[in-house]
Structures are given as C-alpha cells and as structure tokens.
Amino acid sequence: MPATRGLPTMKPVFKTLSTTLAATVLSATFSHAVFADRILGVFAGASEWKQNYDGSIRDLDTGGSQGEEIDFNNDLGLKDDDGNMIYVALEHPIPFLPNVKLQRTKLEIEETNTISRQFEYGDQTFNASDTVTTEADLSHDDLTMYFQVLDNWVSLDIGLTVRFFDGFVSIKSSTDSAREDFDSPVPLLYGKARFDLPLSGLSASLAANALGDGDNMFVDFEAAVQYEHKLGAGVELGFRRMDLDLDDIDDIEVDLTIDGAYFGVFYHL
C-alpha cells in the first residue's frame, strides 16, 4: 500500500493554512521586531508522560470493503503506558524570520488480550477467543515555526507546526497477523500563551496545535506550571491531551484520545 495515499486529503488544508497565516504573519512579524528578545535564546527539555488511551481504529481497505471499528480498550486491551517528550527551541531577535522548535514525542504501546468477538483488520479475520498481541506506534516529530508577538510577563507565540508520523498498528494471533503503516505529514496551527509571576521564577502556560477541515480533526492541548531558577534550569508539571478524529490517513480511520499528566525538566540558555 503506497505510503502517500493519505496525502491528497491534506492538500486543501495546506492552502487554507497558507491563507490564514498570510494575514497573521504581516502583523506578527512587526510585533516580533518590536517585542522579541534582544539576544539569542535556546530552550531544551525532556518530560515523562503518563499516557491513557481511549478510542477506536478502522481499516478502510479490508478486502475491498470498510472494516468495522476496533476498540482500543475493549477489543485490544490498550489502556495506558509511559512515553516521553524531548524538545529543543531556538529564539532570536531577527525580524521576519520565525523561531524554530523541534520536538519528538514517543507514543508506543503493546498489549496482549483475548478478544470476545470477531473482527477484520488488514485483510485478516480475527476470531472470538483468539489471543492477540497489538502493537501501536503513534510516535511523531514536530517542526514548529512561530513568531513571538508578546514578550513580557505575558508572552504569546503563534505559528505553524508540521507533524510527521512514521507509525503503524499491528495485530497478531497465533495464526494470523496484519499491519497497517502510515507516514502522512499533518499541518497544524500553533499557539502558546505563558504567564510569568514576576521575580518568583514561577509561570503557567497553555499551548495547542490544532487542525480541522471538515473530514479530519486534530487537537493537541497542554497546560503546565513551571519553575525556573535564575541560572536557567527548571522543572514543570503539566497535562497533555491529544484528540485525533482522522477519516482517511493512508486508508486508516482513527478516533482516538490520548491524555495524561507529565513531569519534565528543562534548561533555558
């Protein structure tokens, strides 16, 4: 199955985002020139994320027909696991050039479960009472380009994220196995607000990457509180929720929520 089959459904989204961002960038770049930091800033951090899974997956190409929904919890036994997030960001005072953030999120889970009903996946039929092992990898890399339009005790970032998936969902029994891969890029609007308590090192932040085009909906939201020492090292405690309602990405339909608390450390140079 060609890996790019999910891409055509995303092309109108790029056009919509380009139109939306065109008006935004004109004002954002001016504000960035006025309010941006006067020195180079480098941010790096890592977090451990407790992930809870809830939702379903459907293979849209099971023997030429649309398969039925397969529940992550009830059918496959996928409930929770631990993952991590690692990021680095570069901020600068140069007008008209966006700041850049790179982030890697690990979303991998594996469970073995005895299924209670028959279902089809990847041209294979799995029968009731089969013991199946499911592996799901929704790990992704984010490239975020953003402008800082406010930079005081309240800071505001706006921009665009391109999320690169290189994942799969596989189901195996003692007699059959099926695997579906997907590697479509997903463009997302990005925004982040941060509120600093002056002279304390304490802050709170809200960040979101979101997309909606009628057929697909993708919302990735996180809220956190941070403490940063005057030397630049800090810790944060937050909550992240990712909602995916994707109708056709490489012949896969996904309705999935992953959420949970995370704890991390960071350094600001």
Handedness of CA 216, 169, 259, 154 (dihedral sign): negative
- For residue 67, the model assigns a pLDDT of 66
pLDDT > 50? residue 76 = yes
User: Residue 69 — very low, low, confident or very high, per pLDDT cuts 50/70/90?
Assistant: confident
- For residue 12, the model assigns a pLDDT of 52
Candidates 2.40.128, 1.20.120, 1.10.10, 2.60.40; CATH matching 8-268: 2.40.128
- Tens digit of pLDDT for each residue in 6-60? 433 444 554 555 455 544 444 444 444 444 445 789 999 999 999 999 999 887 7
Domain ranges of the chain: 8-268
Burial of 188 (0-12, 13-18, 19+ CB in 10 A): buried
This prediction's pTM:
0.82
